[in-house]
Chains A and B, each alone.
Chain A
Amino acid sequence: MDIIQILSSSRVFLAPPSLPIVLRLGMDGEELTEQETALYDRQIRVWGAGAQRRLSKAHILVCGITGTIAEFCKNIVLAGVGSLTLVDDRAVTKEALSANFLIPSDENACAGKTLTELCRDSLKDFNPMVRVSVEKGDLSSFGAEFYSKFDVVVVSCCSFTTKKLINEKCRKLSKRVAFYTVDCRDSCGEIFVDLQHHKYSKQKQEETIECELHYPSFEESISVPWKALPRKFSKLYFAMRVIERFEEAEQRKPGELSIADLPAVVKLKKELCEAQSLNESHIPNVLLERLVTDTREFPPVCPIIGGILGQEVIKAISGKGDPLKNFFFFDAMDGKGIIEDVSGKT
């Protein structure tokens, strides 16, 4: 009988060492190697050997390399996932460099390499036990076959349409693929999570409880009428939707905005608020102004969003602890990191 003692979540800081963490290994009898036990000692104490083994078999895809994604990649490579695949055909730009510590500044080392290749080389170095590779091509052109190779798909800096498209492709697969989007603008960040039907366990007092959560798709979530959302809802949620619609309508790439767009963005906000019967004050113009003027990431926000995303992906893979459902928002201005559930249920 295999017992996997479950700690309440991967975010355990105070878990007592005296708590009997029973570390038995899976039915297939696979054990962590001595090398793995030594390297992962501290984190096995957080999430257990069973979770560590599941991590080592998980395959992760990330699309769109940003500072936040670089943080996320570092976290899961250190955690010891099976493999990580990077997709982003962009060249190394000054902007890409600004919040990304994976790109060496040495020009000789960078010569002839793409953004993803440079990141891959740095990430490989962090943990030789993780396979890190690069895939070339256009995100929206990949078929279901491609996505079925992964357990987790994370997309960043891509259009509204692409997000929906990839999310739908993942949902149509016979295997369950966890889907995340992450976006940072100015000092704000947003994470969206779709785990479809997620079964997990958590520790409550002495007992291990089995739980299940049902997630809506990205499209289902954002279709929830604004009026149906709780009265005190994150302003950032609405603001991000306005920007998303604006970029879509104007055929802009994510982040291709400037202060000159503000009047048009404010106009769109008015229209959307009217259509959705939402008081305009829920989307302050100052917030929209911040999101259109400085579309670059604010470096200290990257490890915060990348850290939360890393924890969530580890929870999803290990099946331990309450995962967040289904939006997370952080704004350095007020310092709050908030979870909002946009499921269309009252």
Chain B
Amino acid sequence: MASLKHLPAVKGAKVLMVGAGGIGCELLKTLALSGFQDIHIIDMDTIEVSNLNRQFLFRQSHVGQSKAKVAREAVLKFRPHISITPYHANVKDSDFNVDFFKQFNVVLNGLDNLDARRHVNRLCLAADVPLIESGTTGFLGQQVTVHVKGRTECYECQPKPAPKTYPVCTITSTPSKFVHCIVWAKELLFAKLFGDKNQANDLNVRSSDGASSSKQAEDVFEHRKDEDIEQYGRRIYDHVFGYNIEVALSNEETWKNRNRPKPIYSSEFMPNDLSQQNGSMEKNGAANDISSVSAMASLGMKNPQDVWSLKENSRVFLEALKLFFLKREKEIGNLTFDKDDQLAVEFVTAAANIRAASFGIPLHSLFEAKGIAGNIVHAVATTNAIIAGLIVIEAIKVLQNDTKNYRMTYCLEHPTRKMLLMPVEPFEPNRSCYVCSETPLSLEINTHRAKLRDFVEKIVKATLGMSLPLIMHGSALLYEVGDDLDEEMVANYAANLDKVLSELPTPVTSGTMLTIEDLQQELSCQINIKHREEFDEEKEPDGMVLSGWTQAPSVVKDDKESIANAGSTSNEPPVEAEKNDEIEIPPEKKRKLSEVSEAVDPDLSSVDGDTRNPDKLQVLDDDDELMIFDNWDSVTNKKIRMQ
């Protein structure tokens, strides 16, 4: 490990870094200092102000520029003679195919989302290039892991937690936590008012309940011709915070064991003639620049950490709605919530707070609401630096082919067994992993009722994470995606999507073995179909059950449908870690932790590799004591949170 010994391996290595963000900046710097001379770096993002506190290669003047390119320039200042090749692109682009990956000796991930991580994992397996993964995917905090095909587990051998979802009725009718109000404001109200009108929206359903007929309810959200924008805003306000609550209250059953919400009408807080009262547009006057349109600015409110009163929230709500219609009318109908969109954050904060007030839930500041709505992951420079150092140490071992010493290292929040950095031996590949092994999966599905479309959406895309799938039944092609298909084929596949499985040109019935491939990821897996007539609507809401590979621990849903608090700019599972949401670790998670330090000590290097017991988790605490744990929980004595 002495710096000179590994120099040849490092000097001749060609490495690929995916991600030039928090970990990426630290990693690129550390690679350059450690003597790496040929580094390629992919990142599709541009630099934002909130990056500057930790992505230290970037300056205020770089805001808006490519992260990969600016990072390269910054590192060349202190290591001018090395080669850094930046790509301002999405790693999922077809340019970055298996052949592209094959040119590298090792791939290092500094990514922030599950989707890209899965993609890179598959390409590394296909290209047979070792991958070093990092991030908050561990159950004990940050971690660094080595994935080498056939030798250690791949990134997907252990299922990843599914995004946190909430039952629809909790969101639409019985919120009990602030996050429920945020999800309502963001996924329902914001989407209804400013998003795609054709999208199904549960707000619809609710507002058509009760006294009003569905026709009238539909109309509520339409901005009527010639209607004054102030009046429109107040009408929406009174409808969602007043009328809808009244309707909900009329259902006595719901409130038997719950606190009854309070309807809120805009007239309680502001006189009917509010155009004088509310913000002055002049303050936004110069702002033809959309990003600077702000209700807070026009109302003279400055501190995003203040918790606004109900009246202030009401004013922000109306002002933000007005500004959308007056300043950003063109975008209406196409907007999706974005945590970097100030006006959207203001609207969602205000709407969530008014709803929270109605339901007796404590109000929150814009700063906090933004964190919840945007699923903002907390980040500081120090942790990224530590993680980057650990990645480079593992990368050097991989390049030296020092397989015995590969480690997975946890960077812990609280010391465990006196350790802040806890190395464990990497786990073996999971033999039932559909990504890195060839074991077929098994799918229970109603072949007479489920359409090919359901199968493609719920299984192939959502569960298996394929982006360009091809489905074969024997030699017959049932479905494929690609640019080079002729019209006739496209029409054929489109027709197939709407057919139930048993009525496809080549019928899929019980006992059928389907082959699913993703040509870009070079991933292929087989699914054995088993017909099943009935499914439990609550426990198996998809109407299909995939097995043979451990499914991620998903959140119990008590409703047929559910709404996710989806991040707008990443596909990372939303961070939702309330006290009650601990994940039950599936029994498969009991794995081994074996210790290490003595492997370098010739006398003890014979610590038996065969002592592996997959049912136990072992920590070789020190020279001579083998500690065995049955469960991760007992290692830290700490509840595991979803993230």
Which residue from chain B places its CB closest to the CB of A335 in the assembled complex?
A: B423
CB distance from A318 to the nearest CB of B (A): 12
Do the beta carbons of A101 and B33 come within 8 Å of each other?
yes
Q: A187-B1, A303-B385 are in contact. Are A334 and B596 (CB under 8 A)?
A: yes
Would you call A38 and B2 a contact (CB within 8 A)?
no
Interface core residue of A32, A45, A125, A127 (most chain B CB under 10 Å): A45
Tell whether, in the assembled complex, residue A232 and residue B576 are in contact, meaning their CB atoms are under 8 Å apart: no
B16: interface (CB < 8 Å): no
* Chain A residue, CB-CB nearest to B303: A31
Point out which of B304, B305, B396 has the most chain A C-beta atoms below 10 A from its C-beta.
B305
- Give Cα A16–Cα B30 distance, bound, in whole angstroms: 30
> Contacts A16-B577, A39-B52: A307 and B371 contacting too (C-beta < 8 A)?
no
Nearest Cβ on chain B to A280's Cβ, whole angstroms: 14
Q: Is the CB of B600 within 8 A of A43?
A: no
User: B78 contacts A16, CB within 8 Å?
Assistant: no
CA distance A330 to B2 in the complex (A): 15
Q: How far is the CA of A298 from the CA of B397 in the complex (A)?
A: 14
Name A78's contact: one of B56, B177, B390, B423 (CB within 8 Å). Answer: B56
User: Are A43's CB and B53's CB within 8 A?
Assistant: yes
Give me the interface of B with A, judged by CB distance under 8 Å: 1-4, 26, 29-30, 32-35, 49-50, 52-54, 56, 59-60, 75, 77-80, 136, 141-142, 177-179, 302-305, 362, 364-365, 367-368, 371-372, 375-383, 385-386, 388-390, 392-393, 396, 407, 409, 412-415, 418-423, 575-578, 596-601, 621-623, 641, 643
Q: List 19 A-B contacts (CB under 8 A).
A: A13-B136, A15-B378, A17-B575, A41-B50, A42-B379, A44-B367, A45-B376, A75-B381, A99-B33, A101-B33, A232-B623, A298-B1, A300-B393, A303-B388, A310-B385, A330-B421, A332-B1, A336-B421, A336-B422
A330–B35 Cα distance when bound, in Å, is: 21
A14 touches B136 (CB 8 A): yes
Q: Which residues of A contact B53 (CB under 8 A)?
A: 39-43, 78-80, 127
Q: Which residues of B contact A127 (CB under 8 A)?
A: 52-53
Contact mask for chain A residues 235-251; partner B; CB cutoff 8 A; 1 contact, 0 none? 00000000000000000
A127–B35 alpha-carbon span in the complex (Å)? 27
**Residues of chain A lying within 8 A (CB to CB) of residue B419:** 336-339
A270 interface residue per 8 A CB criterion:
no
Whether B597 and A334, one on each chain, are in contact in the complex, defined by CB atoms closer than 8 angstroms, is yes
Q: Count A-side interface residues using an 8 Å CB cutoff.
A: 87
Given contacts A299-B34, A304-B386, A336-B423, contact A284 B379 (CB under 8 A): no
Contact B49 A38, beta carbon cutoff 8 Å:
yes
A61: Cβ under 8 A from any B Cβ: no
Known: A13-B136, A303-B30. A39 touches B423 (CB 8 A): no
Which listed segment binds B: A102-110, A153-161, A218-226? A102-110
A9 touches B32 (CB 8 A): no
Residues of B within 8 A of A106 (CB): 77, 80
Q: A23-B365, A332-B1, A334-B597 are in contact. Are A18 and B385 (CB under 8 A)?
A: no
State whether B368 touches A17 (Cβ < 8 A): yes
**Complex alpha-carbon distance, A46 and B642, angstroms:** 17
Besides the contacts A75-B381, A128-B60, A186-B1, what 19 more A-B pairs have beta carbons closer than 8 Å?
A11-B412, A13-B141, A14-B577, A18-B179, A20-B178, A20-B362, A39-B52, A41-B376, A78-B56, A187-B3, A293-B2, A294-B2, A301-B389, A302-B389, A310-B382, A333-B600, A335-B423, A336-B596, A339-B419
